[in-house]
Amino acid sequence: MLVPVLIRSRQHVMEFECGRKGRQRDKDERQDQGDCGSNDRTSEGRGSRADHGRGACSRNLHLCQPRKVLALASQAELHHATLHGQEVGPLGEKTVLIDTHTHLDDARFDGDRDAVITRAREAGVEAFITIGCDVATSRAAVSLADRYPFIYATVGVHPHEVKCIGDDWYDELRRLAQHPKVVAYGEIGLDYHYNHSPPKLQRDRFREQVCLARELRLPLVIHTREAQEDTIKILKEEKGSEVGGVFHCFSGDAWLAKDALNLGFFLSFSGVVTFQNATMLRDIMKTVPMDRLLVETDCPYLTPAPHRGKRNEPAYVKLIAEKIAELKGSTEPMSVQEVEGLTSQNACRLFKIPYGTPERGQSENAR
């Protein structure tokens, strides 16, 4: 059982030495040059997909400034932290949320982006993932991740946009993906509802991008609408399970949920679970194991009740966690705090985001 705790690091953070490759080393060096104390990093390295237990790795100690770290820790990790001179205490009622799918670069946030982010931070959102849908938005996502320590980015081409893919796009996406805060490849997939790009082209480009994500060793952010069977077929044929990923804004049926889980993927639920007519989706959500659930707003789209009709924003991800706690709680006791803690921990595991983020005051100053 994982418990949210506050870990106070006195004089060092610990880093994992698990066969890290160049890319991870770059990331660590960058981390060491000034951002070194932000956490007890899960630096397993994408080069080594083997599932290391965090306690089983040898570690390096790096001197750095004292810093408080928020973390979700297992008993073994707590034991380890104590051994290494860290103070560990209960987190209490503190909210820890990760909004795993946002479009923070969207023009609808241009007038008040900082205020939107501050509101979300005040509502307990510790980290955000902002998504690329083409080359321009992938660049914008990376530049947001550069500006804010608690924002992470993805790069990729949405099925709506694949008709625009030019000769140099994949090279540029490869280059952007080298940024240390790019945590996934996507959103990619198939959307036969709108068919903004021809279906055959969507399938071809989806296949290519699954291969590219495997080359980059990045997990996949999957967008699929009215295209369940083809999505699963392509993921199987192109070995998507090798990198894993998430079916974002899950809205499929029980068959898709089962197949996605069998492939080792996570399912992410959005404000749609709060919609009155989403009874089937709520029933499916109740069957998803807690260690495979993520939450997201997909803002500025899909605003949850009771704010429907307005622009969506990441602060509302809490409403989704509350809905999940209410629904899961109908069969087994489940607090909102547990849903927040477990979904955040899942996000950290899938996207290799460091457990915990810098303390609020520090992170706001750090940009």
- Which residues contact Zn ion by CB under 5 A? 187, 223, 298
Q: For Zn ion, give the closer residue by CB, 187 or 340.
A: 187
The CB-of-157 to Zn ion minimum distance in angstroms stands at: 12
CB of 223 to Zn ion, least distance (A): 4
Closest CA to 150 of 366, 359, 357: 357
DSSP state of 238: T
Taking the complex as a whole, how short is the minimal distance between the CB of residue 109 and Zn ion, in angstroms? 14
Q: Indicate the Cα dihedral angle 33, 35, 36, 39, nearest 10°.
A: -160
| Nearer Cβ to Zn ion (109/355) | 109
Q: How far is the CB of 266 from Zn ion (least distance, A)?
A: 15
Residue with tokens 């066969």: 19
Task: Give the nearer residue to Zn ion in terms of CB position, either 28 or 106.
Answer: 106
3-state DSSP assignment of residue 264: coil
Closer of 28 and 161 to Zn ion (Cβ): 161
Contacts of 319 (CB under 8 A, 6+ apart): 271, 274, 304, 305, 307
| Min separation Cβ 191 and Zn ion, Å | 8
Comparison of 38 and 268: residue with beta carbon closer to Zn ion: 268
What is the dihedral sign for C-alpha 141, 146, 148, 150?
positive
Residues 189 and 129: their CA atoms lie apart, in Å, by 18
Q: By C-beta, is 44 or 298 nearer to Zn ion? A: 298
* Cα atoms in the 13 Å half-sphere on the side-chain side of 18: 20
Q: How far is the CB of 33 from Zn ion (least distance, A)?
A: 33
Select the residue whose beta carbon is closest to Zn ion and give its number: 223
Q: Which CA distances in Å does 319 have to 131, 143, 287, 293, 305?
A: 21, 28, 20, 15, 8
Length of the chain: 367
Q: Give me the least distance between CB of 154 and Zn ion, in Å please.
A: 10
- Give the whole-angstrom CA distance, residue 189 versus residue 247: 9
**Which residue number, 95 or 343, has a Cβ lying nearer to Zn ion?**
343
